Amino acid sequence: MSRISHAFQDKKHKALVAYLTAGYPDAGATVEAALLLAQSGCDIIELGIPFSDPMADGLTIQHSSHLALLKGVTTSTCFDIAERIRQSSEAPLVFMTYLNPVISYGVEQFCAGCSEKGIDGLIIPDLPPGELPELDTSAASHGIDTIYFVAPNSSQERIHTVAQRSKGFIYMVSVTGVTGVRNRFPAGLADVITKVRKVTDLPLCIGFGISDPQQAREAAALADGVIIGSRIIQIMEKEGSPYRELHEFIAQVRRSIDTTGVAST
């Protein structure tokens, strides 16, 4: 069983996935934050590889990616960060990247590097499922899960293709658009999730726009896991040492999603 699959083994436990931009504000801070997140209740750590044209990212993550690039963070830097995290934690690690860095690095070399450095899964927002079969093949040969997206406007054909191609879990995009903090989920999200559940037994994780414990709880009531990114980056942006606030935020979210389905008194 892969580390990602193990995170979903307990069907009563809702997985918490935390996003960090690798190399922001620096490599050491990323490693420290990742270890803290895992200790504070996160089940999976998603590491974003900085890219110059992050089409799926909102302003907060775009800004962190831009600053990381200005500091010279490369794909190789991100592999080094992943290796440092893996030396101290068995938490599943997932790279979120775009197709260009993977192609530039070399598909086989990239997947081999993921396996060597302890990466368990890949999320590539600008790669439609089935468009680069050699990536799926190479990832599978190295034990790397490929995680694809379903959006609120995904067709039934797209849902079937994602269900067939995904491993580990399926990323349910809560809104049509980019990442970022939002106030509510769109009507119809539950209907999309119902459609996906009819064609796959894979866990479903909701991301894009979840920024507080209440939203996380609402998402956990619909899916098997919750993904939080922009709010974590906003905490990391603060001057001084943000780690206490980061721990408290994740602990609050963990408590909130752990009470999913429990009636309030």
Q: Where are the domains of the chain?
A: 14-256
Residue 240 has what pLDDT? Answer: 79
The closest alpha carbon to 81, from 127, 42, 28, belongs to 28
pLDDT at residue 22, as a whole number: 98
Q: For residue 261, what pLDDT is reported?
A: 59
In 10-44, which positions are buried (b, 16+ CB within 10 angstroms) versus exposed (e)?
eeeebbbbbbbbbbbbebebbbbbbbbbbebbbbb
What pLDDT band is residue 56 in, cutting at 50, 70 and 90? confident
pLDDT reading at 54 higher than 90: no
Give 226's pLDDT tier (boundaries 50, 70, 90): very high
Eight-class DSSP state of 92: -
Q: What is the pLDDT of residue 178?
A: 45
What band does 177 get if pLDDT is binned at 50, 70 and 90?
A: very low
Q: Which residue bears the tokens 């699959």?
A: 5
Residue 197 burial (10 A CB sphere; 0-12, 13-18, 19+): middle
**What confidence tier does 263 reach under pLDDT thresholds 50, 70, 90?**
very low
Band of the pLDDT at 241, cuts 50, 70, 90? confident
Give the mean pLDDT of 123-144. 96
For residue 233, give both structure tokens: 């980056």
H-helix segments, 118-155 = 133-141
- The mean per-residue pLDDT over the stretch 210-217 comes to 93
pLDDT digits (tens, 9 = 90+) for 57-89: 889 999 999 999 999 999 999 999 999 999 999
The burial class, CB within 10 Å (0-12 / 13-18 / 19+), for 265 is: exposed
Q: Which amino acid appears at position 224 of this protein?
A: D
User: pLDDT tens digits, residue range 22-39?
Assistant: 999 999 999 999 999 999
Q: Which residue has the tokens 């831009």?
A: 66
Q: Which residues are catalytic?
A: 46, 57
Q: Are strands 225-228 and 204-207 parallel, antiparallel or unpaired?
A: parallel
Q: Give percent of the chain above pLDDT 70.
A: 93
Q: Give residue 261's region: left, alpha or beta (phi > 0; psi -120 to 50).
A: left
The reported pLDDT for the residue numbered 181 is 46
pLDDT of residue 12 exceeding 60: yes
Q: Average pLDDT in the 226-235 region? A: 96
- Tokens 């963990």, residue located: 254
Q: Copy the structure tokens of residue 200.
A: 């796959």
Match 């994740």 to its residue by tokens: 250
Most confident of 52-56, 174-178, 242-246: 242-246
- Rounded CA separation 55/58 (Å): 8
DSSP 181: -
The predicted structure's pLDDT at residue 135: 97
Structure token pair of residue 173: 């995009």
Q: How far apart are CA 88 and CA 210, in angstroms?
A: 28
Give CA 157 to chain center in angstroms. Answer: 24
Average pLDDT over residues 143-156: 94
This model's pTM is above 0.85: yes
Q: What tokens were used for 85?
A: 């995290």
Its CATH architecture, for the domain 14-256, is Alpha-Beta Barrel (3.20)
pLDDT given for residue 204 in this prediction = 98
Report the pLDDT averaged over residues 254-263: 81
